[in-house]
Structure 1
């Protein structure tokens, strides 16, 4: 009789140990703020390299030194405001929606989630963030980052708000959202990247630290950084072409009647025929310099926030 009475208690306890989606969202938003401030220069260099079709920059170091010497060190933080806001909102939605999707794929009997379910949950979170947040914020960020010069008076876009107003005035709302040619590669990039990242992060936590969500084990920041770093290395290799395509589609001005790139497939064919296959992975090294460290920073913050919630509420739950 005692054993039979303990089973529902254990089942109830396991249900209480699920991290609510809103806590995942909060942890992601805080992690995004810290990541943006630390890694913005790498993102600027990546964007400049991807837009460079004339060989102006000879590599990462040359690009960084050229930008800082000709435009000032602050130019390496161009687009920080939309980038930080973008990351904060993106991680909030990504972490929260992924938690919601995971609850859908959770086995009602065992409480376990298969790798298949984690992949689909990550992909769904990536698609959602791509369509609702990533598109307009990255358009503004890339338009700001591609500008060259020292004097703000000579720049077309004076800042994030002015950039938004100018794009809408010249290109219509579709310049930021709606019927936009960059939606397809952005969906593919973010969906694939998040599917790989969430699945890999969970696998590395289990393999390296024997960590299960809600088990009360709080990872040290350095442990979260290692898992996050390794998880962040998978996406850039898989999504390199989509990232290049997205960047160039976002950068081109839609005010004129003729656009160089008419869509994802058209752009891939043009890049391949004119610049070669490897051009589809332009900016891969700076992406690897930004995304894995960025994921390491984000998860170090997010896991501590989630760990604090586990320690204060889940483990003390009756």
Structure 2
């Protein structure tokens, strides 16, 4: 059985468990869902206004164009930057979420209210955004935005890979360029994780209470974890799509000397509305939901599975059963 506290409740996972389970879950999520993220970014960066009567350029058409013009490997542009940051990102997300939950919980019983879970998720999202996500996404977006054929050796892109993109951005624009859009990224990640963890925790608690056989372990069957991860993962993108679209355009563009981030944000938002209409703020929402929702389903399923296995193990470095 998973390690439990004296009152019978499941103990919070250790930092080592969060590192291994969270990191592995994040890697699996990235490998499975990254092509949809590339399509989402291309749609958000597209500035073409739709001509009257012309068909909408949806995610399927965008994906087909990328594959036809740049080969299927182009769907994995920026994956190196994602994989480099995914382990610390997920470790920070789950570890900080548990830490904030304990901080916000009742000091006597340890019970955390729905409001506490929401605030813990919000704080965890902001923490991961500042620590890892913003620099990772700046590099990822620069790579994904390049429309070059990976099959043509003469079509040389500006950024060859994640390491080269990192070096080039810092050399040409300074270290601060890696944190362009940090406020929007923190707002997006914060709202994402607040909604995500709140919904997931609610559904998980409800299903455990509904099934007496799950109450002793505090765990659900994997298919139920996948289902509630899918549902909770879809809620975040719907709540903050305009933030994500503006952030993507801000991080793709080079800095403008003497122009503050807030001025750039308002300029981008105004130009989008004037030139492309209100729907531009929701460009890429379909592939984003298709990216984030299955991604959260994969993340929670793999995380819960590995957490359970690690806590049942006798490995000292993950805080296994030797502690009981």
TM range (shorter): 0.7 to 0.9
1:20 and 2:14 matched? yes
Residues 240 and 251 (structure 1), Cα distance of their counterparts in 2 relative to 1, 3 Å cut: same
Distance in 1 between the 2:260 and 2:218 partners?
Answer: 54
2:265 matched residue in structure 1 = 264
2:202 matched residue in structure 1 = 203
Q: Which runs of 5+ in 2 are unaligned?
A: 51-55, 314-318
1:251 matched residue in structure 2 = 252
Give runs of ≥4 in structure 1 deviating > 4 Å.
13-16, 211-215, 255-261, 312-318
For the 8 Å contact 1:115–1:199, the answer to whether it is kept is yes
1:299 matched residue in structure 2 = 300
Residues 168 and 279 (structure 1), Cα distance of their counterparts in 2 relative to 1, 3 Å cut: same
The TM-score with structure 2 as length reference comes to 0.86
- Root mean square deviation, CA, Å: 2.7
Q: Could you say what secondary structure the match of 1:134 adopts?
A: helix
The TM-score with structure 1 as length reference comes to 0.87
Provide, for residues 45-67 of structure 1, a one-character-per-residue CA deviation record: whole Å limited to 9, x for no partner: 00000000115981111111111
For the 8 Å contact 2:10–2:217, the answer to whether it is kept is no
Distance in 1 between the 2:136 and 2:86 partners?
Answer: 9
Q: Could you say what secondary structure the match of 2:6 adopts?
A: helix
Distance in 2 between the 1:215 and 1:121 partners?
Answer: 25
Q: Could you say what secondary structure the match of 1:111 adopts?
A: coil
Aligned positions, number: 306
For the 8 Å contact 2:208–2:215, the answer to whether it is kept is no
Tell me which moved more, 184-193 or 151-160: 151-160
Residues 103 and 21 (structure 1), Cα distance of their counterparts in 2 relative to 1, 3 Å cut: farther
Deviation at 1:79, TM superposition (A): 1.0
Distance in 2 between the 1:307 and 1:237 partners?
Answer: 31
Residues 15 and 205 (structure 1), Cα distance of their counterparts in 2 relative to 1, 3 Å cut: closer
Residues 139 and 214 (structure 1), Cα distance of their counterparts in 2 relative to 1, 3 Å cut: farther
Residues 264 and 13 (structure 1), Cα distance of their counterparts in 2 relative to 1, 3 Å cut: same
Q: How does 1:186-201 map to 2 (within 5 A)?
A: 186-201=185-200
Q: How does 1:52-201 map to 2 (within 5 A)?
A: 52-54=46-48, 58-150=57-149, 151=152, 153-177=155-179, 180=180, 182-201=181-200
Deviation at 1:269, TM superposition (A): 2.7
Distance in 2 between the 1:108 and 1:259 partners?
Answer: 43
Residues 19 and 277 (structure 1), Cα distance of their counterparts in 2 relative to 1, 3 Å cut: same
Residues 260 and 174 (structure 1), Cα distance of their counterparts in 2 relative to 1, 3 Å cut: closer
Distance in 1 between the 2:296 and 2:309 partners?
Answer: 19
Distance in 2 between the 1:75 and 1:259 partners?
Answer: 33
Q: How does 1:40-55 map to 2 (within 5 A)?
A: 40-54=34-48
Deviation at 1:255, TM superposition (A): 6.8
Q: Could you say what secondary structure the match of 1:155 adopts?
A: coil
Q: Could you say what secondary structure the match of 1:157 adopts?
A: coil
